[in-house]
Structure 1
Amino acid sequence: MGAVCCRPQPIDFDGDANLFHFVLLRCVGKGAFGKVRVVQHKQTKELYALKYINKAKCVKMKAVPNIIQERRLLEEVDHPFIVNLRYAFQDDENCFFVLDLMLGGDLRFHLERLGSLPEEVVRFFVAQLASGLGYLHEMGIMHRDIKPDNILLDERGNAHLTDFNIAVHFGERKLTGVAGSMAYMAPEILAKRGYTYHIDWWSLGVCAYELVFGRRPFRGRTNSDLTYSISKDQLKWPEDAEKKCSRTGMQVLRGLLERDTSKRFGCKENGEGFQELRRHGWFKPIDWDALEGKELPPPFVPDQKKANFDASYELEELLLEDNPLKAKARKANQDNLSAEMRQMEDQFTSYDFKKMQRRSYYPHNQHLISTATATSSGLASSRPATPANDLKSDSIGIHGSDYVDDSIRDKDSIRLDRMNGDLKDQS
């Protein structure tokens, strides 16, 4: 009798995805109120990254709209150089993103370990990231937080953009809220006179400069000093710059770090900015079709014999976690939820990339999603094919709007990280 009672319940793989579908493996990352760990799908045996976010902490930090925004944006995008969403679901305590697994670590980890990277490696990464940005901007999305920490390598050495927590759709109206990591912010953000997707190209320039020379182009001991440097200081090169970077490479860096957005590389309308960047002499060695098909051998391959992430995350999970993650059945009664918990319950919907049609939740983007996906644009899809795109309009946005604007990014939602001088959103 006892054996019958203790027999594990069979897993319903035909139903909505949930944590019972996955084997929980090692912890590889940590955020303000969530963690990232490696998981394996029990049926397909495929490995993924599981990002999970504690709902109570999310409510406390007033970040519910951001989590829903990220969930919806990730359903919309699919590109070889983006960490794409595979599954989304929730339980009573957490919201879960199941994402492409990147075993090569982030560029901050490699930058701190190596000091700088060879020019040909940086050129390869910049080309891949520029391809991803061109795609996002065509979809009407700006990332707003491009930095080495948010660029992940797969085990072969291909670069991918991640962390869409403060990414937003953009239109003709410019945003004014200060958001992102200060050292990588474009001057127009700090000027608070309005900005659009041009800021992503500036941030890419800061990353590229830092990767080549091992230091950022604009620095300051205080936030006000850093603001002044980004806004006013002349772009300078290290004394050994010519040993580390070719003249054409410096032209690209200078073009990306141009304060005048009408002259900044990547910023011409209708995708012409990205095409102009592709044609630059620095990228002459790059076969763009092969690059976007992930057919080129990356010049930097992460060492798979070593952990390409901070091992303390795993140790902390083992020793300090008082409520370790485990699959739990959902409670039947969901009637007494707070307004914020109800919003997550209703709007952080389930997603399964193998069963569900991709869609945009933003009506103004419906004309884009059918023409700008990885498969239809000629790019090699970064994941198995998804069903045909769903073009039905869903006008339900966060707080009833078509998209989340920068009003959720007020001063109260930004904290100073004194360790690296970054301004980071609480979420």
Structure 2
Amino acid sequence: MYAMKYMNKQKCVERNEVRNVFKELQIMQGLEHPFLVNLWYSFQDEEDMFMVVDLLLGGDLRYHLQQNVRFQEDTVKLFICELALALDYLQSRRIIHRSNYLLTPIFLSGHVHITDFNIATILTKGMQVTTIAGTKPYMAPEMFNSTKPTGYSFAVDWWSLGITAYELLRGRVLYIQLHSLLFVVGFFSTVMYPAAWSKEMVSLVKKLLEPNPEERFAQLKNIQDFPYLADINWDAVLQKRIMPGFIPTKGRLNCDPAFELEEMILESKPLHKKKKRLAKKEKDTNKSYSSQVRAKERLVPTVLEIPFFAQKPWPSQGLNSQPWVQRPMPKPLSCPSSLMLKANLG
């Protein structure tokens, strides 16, 4: 089973989100990793763009915090390792994610996966990023001072990892308003660490929340060489052979049903009514409409012409060239002939 994300093309144009959508597609088409939500297919019809991705039914980390789940230190330790492997992979592809890892969804098996690349960016060699993007409580100090020629780089994602680890261990979200570099540095230089945490975990979180990006843990090697993680079998982590300490409850939504219902009610063009809507539109079209309307309706599919994409089988991966468990290639989607697909499999 897979999840399908769909976006109305007309709304993307109206909200000036076309560039972000195409960038997200461009980035996701080049990625495949055990701790990412991977893209399997993309296609379109005259109204919407579709992205078929991994289905994760375990809910996201923030939802479980809101349900008063108390994550044990060993569980958070594994989460840090899994997310560090994902960040290292993105870094090897020169991608800065710039997002909130508390929204990281969980497989029903308990493993975490990074998702949402809508504000991610690709870093050109020798360059640094100066644009401000992200969720403020998770933004690294250098992002508030990015107008300087130095800008910022991959270290901002490792800061976000530190914030996520801190929140998971504390059992609550940090509701803070960050307005400036000095505020960020001041807040985290005085933050209290509970006595129940091990000294090694506190030291690790502090290394991730180091205000100076030059001294911050910002590479997988920093994490792997840290004494607290000396007992970690990193190939076993990559192959998902380490059992997480938290397993989401099966047979339940693992999300806020009120929020999901609100989204469905507010959806102006729900997917389940598409067939009836398109049939009515075709009927009205056959009757009559002006050439001006014809031109306007042709505009969106032309502007948002996206390639059909199908993920190839994954190659073997491992930290020491050890293959991890291969996932089977899904069967091709059976798409109606009415879908406007443009193949780009080369």
TM-score scaled by structure 1?
0.66
Distance 1:352 1:376 in 2: 28
Normalized per residue, the structure richer in strand is 1
Whether the aligned pair in 2 keeps the contact of 1:78 and 1:374 (CA below 8 Å) is: no
Aligned twin of 1:230: 184
| 1:179 to 1:301, Cα distance in 2 relative to 1, 3 A | same
Whether the aligned pair in 2 keeps the contact of 1:64 and 1:340 (CA below 8 Å) is: no
Code of the aligned partner of 1:170: L
Match for 1:297 among 243, 248, 257? 243
Matched, 1:108 2:62: yes
What does 1:274-423 correspond to in 2, within 5 Å?
A: 274-316=220-262, 321-326=267-272, 328=275, 341-345=301-305, 348-354=306-312, 378=322, 380=324, 383-384=327-328
SS in 1 for 2:67: helix
Aligned twin of 1:198: 155
Whether the aligned pair in 2 keeps the contact of 1:59 and 1:341 (CA below 8 Å) is: no
Distance 2:309 2:111 in 1: 26
Aligned residues: 312
Code of the aligned partner of 2:7: I
Code of the aligned partner of 1:197: F
Match for 1:178 among 123, 129, 132? 132
Distance 1:197 1:294 in 2: 25
Deviation string, structure 1 residues 347-386 (Cα, Å, up to 9, x no partner): x2111125xx89xxxxxxxxxxx9x977995463674369
Aligned twin of 1:53: 7
What does 1:71-82 correspond to in 2, within 5 Å?
A: 71-82=25-36
How far residue 214 of structure 1 moved from its aligned partner, in angstroms, is 2.8
Distance 2:95 2:121 in 1: 6
Whether the aligned pair in 2 keeps the contact of 1:79 and 1:381 (CA below 8 Å) is: no
How far residue 78 of structure 1 moved from its aligned partner, in angstroms, is 0.3
Matched, 1:144 2:132: no
Matched, 1:208 2:165: yes
Distance 2:200 2:249 in 1: 30
Aligned twin of 1:269: none
TM-score scaled by structure 2?
0.80
Distance 1:209 1:309 in 2: 22
Matched, 1:124 2:100: no
Normalized per residue, the structure richer in helix is 2
Matched, 1:161 2:118: no
Deviation string, structure 1 residues 363-418 (Cα, Å, up to 9, x no partner): xxxxxxx9x977995463674369xxxxxxxxxxxxxxxxxxxxxxxxxxxxxxxx
Q: Percent identity?
A: 34
Distance 1:145 1:382 in 2: 28
Distance 1:199 1:152 in 2: 20
SS in 2 for 1:242: coil
SS in 1 for 2:50: strand
Whether the aligned pair in 2 keeps the contact of 1:143 and 1:164 (CA below 8 Å) is: yes
Distance 1:147 1:211 in 2: 11
Distance 1:77 1:307 in 2: 28
How far residue 282 of structure 1 moved from its aligned partner, in angstroms, is 2.1
Distance 1:297 1:264 in 2: 29
Distance 1:383 1:64 in 2: 32
Aligned twin of 1:248: 200
Aligned twin of 1:96: 50
Deviation string, structure 1 residues 95-146 (Cα, Å, up to 9, x no partner): 1111000010000101111264211111111100000000010111110113
Distance 1:164 1:173 in 2: 20
SS in 2 for 1:252: helix
Whether the aligned pair in 2 keeps the contact of 1:80 and 1:374 (CA below 8 Å) is: no
Distance 2:329 2:318 in 1: 10
How far residue 227 of structure 1 moved from its aligned partner, in angstroms, is 5.2
Distance 2:299 2:207 in 1: 47
Distance 1:262 1:382 in 2: 37
Code of the aligned partner of 2:309: Y
**Unaligned ranges ≥5, structure 2:** 286-292, 331-346
How far residue 175 of structure 1 moved from its aligned partner, in angstroms, is 1.0
Distance 2:190 2:253 in 1: 35
SS in 1 for 2:35: coil
Whether the aligned pair in 2 keeps the contact of 1:79 and 1:382 (CA below 8 Å) is: no
Match for 1:261 among 206, 213, 216? 213
Code of the aligned partner of 1:308: N
How far residue 343 of structure 1 moved from its aligned partner, in angstroms, is 3.2
Distance 1:261 1:213 in 2: 24
How far residue 61 of structure 1 moved from its aligned partner, in angstroms, is 1.3
| 1:223 to 1:288, Cα distance in 2 relative to 1, 3 A | closer
RMSD over aligned Cα atoms: 3.0
How far residue 339 of structure 1 moved from its aligned partner, in angstroms, is 6.4
SS in 1 for 2:195: helix
Distance 1:202 1:114 in 2: 24
Whether the aligned pair in 2 keeps the contact of 1:109 and 1:309 (CA below 8 Å) is: yes
Distance 1:343 1:319 in 2: 28
Aligned twin of 1:68: 22
